[in-house]
Amino acid sequence: MIQTKGLLHIGMPVVSTKETIKWYCDYMGFELVYETVYTGHEIAENVAFIRKDGVTYELYEFLGGKEREEVIASPKLIDHIAYEVEDVEAAYAEAKRLGLNIKKEIQDLPFWENGCRYFMVTTANGDTVEYMQML
C-alpha cells in the first residue's frame, strides 16, 4: 500500500483560468492560493490552485495545441486526484512493486515555495491518481 498524508488536490483542465478562478472565488468562496504560467511542458499552461475548507483544485489552461482544442470541444470536469506523500521515491517504488500502471514517471515542478515532485498511475477504471511530495 502506498502511504499517503491525505488528499492534496483535484486537477481540472479549464478553458479559462481567469474566469474559473473568478467564478469559484465569487460564487463559492474559494481563495486563490497559487498561480503561475508553466512552460516546462510542450504547451505552456496557466496554472492556478484555489482552496476552500481544505479542498484544493488545480486549474490548468492549455495555451495552445490539440490539448486546448480538446478542452474547448469537450471539457472534462476532473482530470486527476492527487494525494500527498511524505517520500515520492518510496511511494514510486511501492507503486512499481505493486505492479500499478505507471502513467507518468517521477517529475519535478517549480510550483509552490520549494517545488514539488510527483508521479501518476491509472486505476482499473482508467482514472488518474497522482502522488505528490511537497518540497
pLDDT of residue 92: 97
CA-CA distance, 114 to 101, in Å (whole number)?
28
pLDDT of residue 119: 97
Average pLDDT over residues 40-55: 93
Nearest to 121 by CA among 32, 26, 2: 2
Tell me the pLDDT tens digit for each residue of 76-103.
778 899 999 999 999 999 999 999 999 9
Q: Which three cell numbers stand for residue 87?
A: 517520500
Examine the pLDDT at 127 and tell me if it is beyond 90. Answer: no
- At 110 the three-state DSSP class reads coil
Residue 111 three-state SS: coil
Domains in the chain, ordered, with CATH? 6-134 (3.10.180.10)
Is it the case that residue 52 has pLDDT exceeding 70? yes
Burial of 124 (0-12, 13-18, 19+ CB in 10 A): exposed
- C-beta contacts of 21-27 below 8 A and 24+ residues apart: 21/48, 21/50, 21/59, 24/50, 24/52, 24/57, 25/50
Band of pLDDT at residue 51, cut at 50, 70 and 90? very high
- pLDDT for 125 beyond 70: no
By mean pLDDT, which of 54-58, 87-91, 114-118 is the weakest?
A: 54-58
The whole-chain average pLDDT of the chain stands at 92
